[in-house]
Structure 1
């Protein structure tokens, strides 16, 4: 489809681009003239948030479009402007959709207890991306370890060897017992 569209110059034809982005997120990558068109990009990210990667820099600063993208695919937060990676509502929506979105959130967001808790409730290992302060928060660490025993390796030094944390990890994986007490 791509070579044919290029041959007939269809990437400059709005109705074709709308149809193409509906079928494939990658289509926006070929439609360079429309990467700064808010309507086209919003349409694309509503179908698949990852289309945000092809948007112009100006569009990645558009709160409404980025919010639509992260609601579709939380990890599309990676392609948002730095400013919007600090926007609490956007980060909450991203993490709600996919806890791994925490990896691309701002430092400020990684220190937000509610955001981090929402992330570790889904995937314990995302504790890796939490602030040092929250890696030392017993409730957050316990929630993460209950979800995935390996999250213990991202806890603060103090909590990583805490009896309750270690026992919770052992309950999650019996084979972890030997490793836990070797430390």
Structure 2
């Protein structure tokens, strides 16, 4: 077996050209060498995890990595994860890469709005401010984003207008409403239209007033229909 000098650039280059995963064995200096790292990622992009800080802050190296697997933006430097061009490439390839972006991107309303139109679940990685933004929440609801309420504050959960819109999409969303709204009989009636087991999430006052989901249905929904 050939003994490799992992401090020797020519020898290391020869090795990483054959197997990029061997970058992990290179010296600290060569893990930051442009030529060595670039050759390594061409056949094993995951090795960017083992590259040095300078290499992970190199725009051309990270671009090469993104061509192969955009989720490896995770290993780019903080500076590049706040870079418009680099993050633009990463987000265009995969909207879930928002989770690796800088706070500036996560708090960009226009950007987040465009991403949740592709997949409402991305709101999970938006800034706290945007996760509680009315426009963002309404767009998530429109896109059937039931999970948005897992990340909102109590004020949003107690907003009757918002919760009404959400419950019209699916009665399942009543579980996220505030105690006050889960005791709102009109909201519960609407929830029943799309979710037969919405009564499970009803507030204590409603459960005290009605013995069961069937009792609620018969008195508040069935009787109302019969009286039309």
Query: Normalising by the residue count of structure 2, what TM-score does the alignment of the two structures yield?
Result: 0.61
Aligned to 1:182: 207
Structural RMSD (CA): 3.3
Give the counterpart of 1:150 among 169, 172, 177. Answer: 172
Distance 1:75 1:62 in 2: 17
Match of 1:137 in 2: 159
SS in 1 for 2:154: coil
**Cα distance change on mapping 1:38 and 1:146 into 2, 3 Å:** farther
In the alignment, is the contact (CA less than 8 A) between 1:128 and 1:151 conserved in 2? no
**1:122-181: CA deviation from partner (whole Å, max 9, x where unpaired):** 321212212433333334323333444332222233333323432233222223335535
Cα distance between partner residues in 2 of 1:105 and 1:175? 31
Q: Work out the number of aligned pairs and report it.
A: 178
Whole-angstrom CA distance in 2 between matches of 1:149 and 1:39: 49
CA distance in structure 1 between the aligned counterparts of 2:86 and 2:183, rounded to whole angstroms: 44
Q: CA deviation at 1:28?
A: 3.5
Larger deviation, residues 39-48 vs 70-79: 39-48
Aligned to 1:7: 22
Q: Which residue is 1:28 aligned to?
A: 48
Q: Aligned-pair distance for 1:53?
A: 1.5
Q: Which has the larger radius of gyration?
A: 2
TM-score (norm 1): 0.73
Change in CA separation of 1:107 and 1:164 when aligned onto 2, cut-off 3 Å: same
Quote how far apart the aligned CAs of 1:62 are. 1.3
Equivalent pair of 2:131/2:148 in contact (CA under 8 Å): no
Structure 1 94/18 Cα, relative in aligned 2: closer, same or farther at 3 Å?
farther
Equivalent residues of 2:82, 2:102 under 8 A apart: yes
For 1:122 and 1:72, locate their aligned partners in 2 and report how far apart those are by CA, in whole Å.
23
Q: Which runs of 5+ in 1 are unaligned?
A: none
Unpaired runs of 5+ residues, structure 2, are 1-15, 209-228
Distance in structure 2 (CA, Å) of the matches to 1:34 and 1:85: 25
1:122 is paired with a residue whose SS is coil
- Does 2:174 correspond to 1:159? no
TM-superposition CA deviations, 1:52-101 (whole Å, max 9, x none): 21111111111332243334333322222223221122322332232222
Considering Cα pairs closer than 8 Å and 6+ residues apart, tell me whether 1 or 2 has the greater RCO. Answer: 1
Equivalences for residues 60-79 of structure 1 within 5 A:
60-79=81-100
